[in-house]
Amino acid sequence: MRALRILLIVVVILGGLFVIADRVAVYFAENEAADKVKTTENLAATPDVSIKGFPFLTQVASGSLDDVEIGIKDYEADTGTGSGTGTSSNGGPKTIRIDDLKADMKGVSFSGDYTSATAATATGSATIAYDELLKAAKSQPTDLFPGVKAQVVGLSDGGNGKIKVDIKVTAAGASQTYPVLSTVTVDGDTVKVHADNLPKLVVDLADSRIRSITDFQQTIDQLPGGVKLDSVQAAQNGVEITVKGSNVKLAG
């Protein structure tokens, strides 16, 4: 009986040491992975990396991790209009800031020297703030007719999944702002904003001319690891997006 108790104590101690070793290994692996993602994606700040599942060491031995979560606070996505920051030749921004990008990577396999890692599938979510999306709209006064100008002066939550686009129309020295509820959708790698109803002014103006102001779009390219836009939804603080992908490259 005494020998059995000693054996149980030894097993408990060894088990505790294994758990400690496993958690320490996870901690170092997460930090290393975060540094590699930062380098691969050329991020300004180190992302959050969380490796799920227990035990970690047996996953490492198998060469594949079950579940890895990555969080990037601010990500500058390319808009397909040229490299770098600032404004492109066609008036649109070259990059667009995406906030709080969270991605859940499943089935992450890595090379023997740990220099590269690829996820079998990935899903995630993020937010494009309204002030960022506004950069894609015609925020400068644009001629509709001689003496009549219009511009987008603000974007906000319109409720029920709609964006409220504020259109300022100036004519004969007087200005009037019209709120227009708009639908936001995804078409490939492009976020599109389309007015559901136009101001009563459209009775007197050609539909296509006013829509050249109210309707706009923003391409979002080269998201982390090659994930793609999946869906968009207008929300209180901006447009919420979901992303997905397969064979997503985390590092290397």
Check residue 16 and give its pLDDT.
53
Residue 8 lies in a domain: no
Burial class (CB in 10 A: 0-12, 13-18, 19+), 102: middle
Provide the domain limits for residue 102.
65-252
Highest mean pLDDT among 91-100, 143-152, 200-209: 143-152
Residue 56 lies in a domain: no
Mean pLDDT (whole number) for 111-120? 78
Check residue 25 and give its pLDDT.
81
Check residue 86 and give its pLDDT.
43
Tell me how many domains the chain contains: 1
Check residue 104 and give its pLDDT.
95
Residue 34 lies in a domain: no
Sign of CA dihedral 228, 78, 66, 112: positive
Residue 6 lies in a domain: no
Residue 36 lies in a domain: no
Report the C-alpha gap between 223 and 146 in whole angstroms. Answer: 42
Q: What is the pTM of this model?
A: 0.81
Burial class (CB in 10 A: 0-12, 13-18, 19+), 88: middle
Residue 30 lies in a domain: no
- Which range is least confidently modeled, 99-103, 109-113, 128-132? 109-113
120-164 per-position pLDDT tens digit? 999 999 999 999 999 998 888 888 888 888 899 999 999 999 999
Is residue 176's pLDDT more than 80?
yes
Check residue 69 and give its pLDDT.
94
- Which range is least confidently modeled, 6-15, 25-34, 95-104, 182-191? 6-15
The overall average pLDDT reported for the chain is 83
Is residue 24's pLDDT more than 50?
yes
pLDDT bucket at 83, cuts 50 / 70 / 90: very low
Q: Quote the DSSP letter at residue 30.
A: H
Check residue 41 and give its pLDDT.
86
Is residue 215's pLDDT more than 60?
yes
Residue 250 lies in a domain: yes
Residue 49 lies in a domain: no
